[in-house]
Amino acid sequence: MKVEQIYTGCLAQGAYYIESNGEAAIIDPLREIKPYLEKAEKNGAKIKYVLETHFHADFVSGHVDLAKATGAQIVFGPNAKPTFAAHIATDGEEIKLGDVTIKVLHTPGHTMESTTYLLKDETGKDYGIFSGDTLFIGDVGRPDLAVKSDLTEEQLAGHLYDSLRNKIMPLSDDIIVYPAHGAGSACGKNMSKETTDLLGNQKKTNYALRPDMSKEEFVKEVTEGLTPPPSYFPKNVQMNREGSMNIDQVMSQGLQALSPEALEAAANETSALVLDTRNPDDFAKGFIPNSVNIGIDGNFAPWVGALIPDIQQPILFVAEEGREEEVVTRLARVGYDHAIGYLKGGFKSWQQAGKEVDTISSISAQEFANRYAQNNQLHVIDVRKPGEFQAEHVQTAQNSPLDFLNDHLAEFPKEGDLYLHCAGGYRSMIAASILKARGFDNVINVEGGFKAISETDVPKTAYVCPSTLK
Beta-carbon neighbour count of residue 424 at 10 Å?
16
| Distances, alpha carbon 290 to alpha carbons 232, 308, 359, 432, 436, in Å | 23, 14, 10, 11, 7
**Residue 419 neighbours by CB under 8 Å, 6+ apart:** 368, 378, 379, 380, 381, 444, 446
Structural contact between residues 54 and 111, judged by C-beta atoms closer than 8 angstroms: yes
pLDDT band at 10 (very low <50, low <70, confident <90, very high): confident
Q: Is CATH 3.60.15.10 the classification given to domain 2-235?
A: yes
* Closest alpha carbon to 394 in 354, 413, 421: 421
Average pLDDT of the segment spanning 49-78 = 96
Structural contact between residues 334 and 242, judged by C-beta atoms closer than 8 angstroms: no
Q: What is the pLDDT of residue 151?
A: 87
164 or 467: which leads in pLDDT: 164
Q: Fold for domain 361-468?
A: Oxidized Rhodanese; domain 1 (3.40.250)
Distance of CA 335 to the CA centre of its chain: 12
Sheet harboring 257-258: ordered strands across? 257-258, 339-343, 315-318, 273-276, 292-293
* Closest alpha carbon to 132 in 119, 117, 147: 117
Q: What is the pLDDT of residue 145?
A: 83
pLDDT in tens, 133-177: 999 999 999 998 876 667 899 999 999 999 999 999 999 999 999
pLDDT in tens, 259-281: 999 999 999 999 999 999 999 99
Average pLDDT of the segment spanning 431-457 = 96
Global model pTM greater than 0.75 = yes
Looking at every residue in the chain, the average pLDDT score rounds to: 94
Q: Each residue of 222-259: b (16+ CB within 10 Å) or e?
A: bbeeeeebbbbbebbbebbbeebeebeebbebbebebe
Q: Fold for domain 245-353?
A: Oxidized Rhodanese; domain 1 (3.40.250)
Beta-carbon neighbour count of residue 285 at 10 Å?
12
The DSSP H or E segment spanning 302 is helix 300-307
Q: What is the pLDDT of residue 468?
A: 59
Rounded percentage of the chain residues whose pLDDT exceeds 70: 98
* Closest alpha carbon to 68 in 248, 239, 250: 248
pLDDT in tens, 168-209: 999 999 999 999 998 877 777 778 889 999 999 999 999 999
Measured distance CA(323)–CA(334) in Å, rounded:
18
Q: What is the pLDDT of residue 226?
A: 82
Structural contact between residues 72 and 105, judged by C-beta atoms closer than 8 angstroms: no
Per DSSP, which regions of 69-175 are E strands?
73-76, 87-88, 94-97, 100-106, 115-120, 126-132
Residues forming CATH 3.40.250.10 domain(s) in the chain: 245-353, 361-468
pLDDT in tens, 422-437: 999 999 999 999 999 9
Collapsing DSSP to helix, strand or coil, 219 comes out as helix
Q: Is the pLDDT of residue 469 over 60?
A: no
Sheet harboring 398-399: ordered strands across? 361-363, 443-446, 418-421, 379-382, 398-399
Q: Is the pLDDT of residue 297 over 80?
A: yes
Average pLDDT of the segment spanning 285-312 = 93
Rounded percentage of the chain residues whose pLDDT exceeds 90: 87
Residues forming CATH 3.60.15.10 domain(s) in the chain: 2-235
Structural contact between residues 279 and 295, judged by C-beta atoms closer than 8 angstroms: yes
Measured distance CA(251)–CA(88) in Å, rounded:
31
What do you get for the CA distance between the two ends of the chain, in Å?
Answer: 43
Q: Is the pLDDT of residue 466 over 70?
A: no
| Distances, alpha carbon 452 to alpha carbons 100, 230, 424, 446, in Å | 53, 29, 8, 9
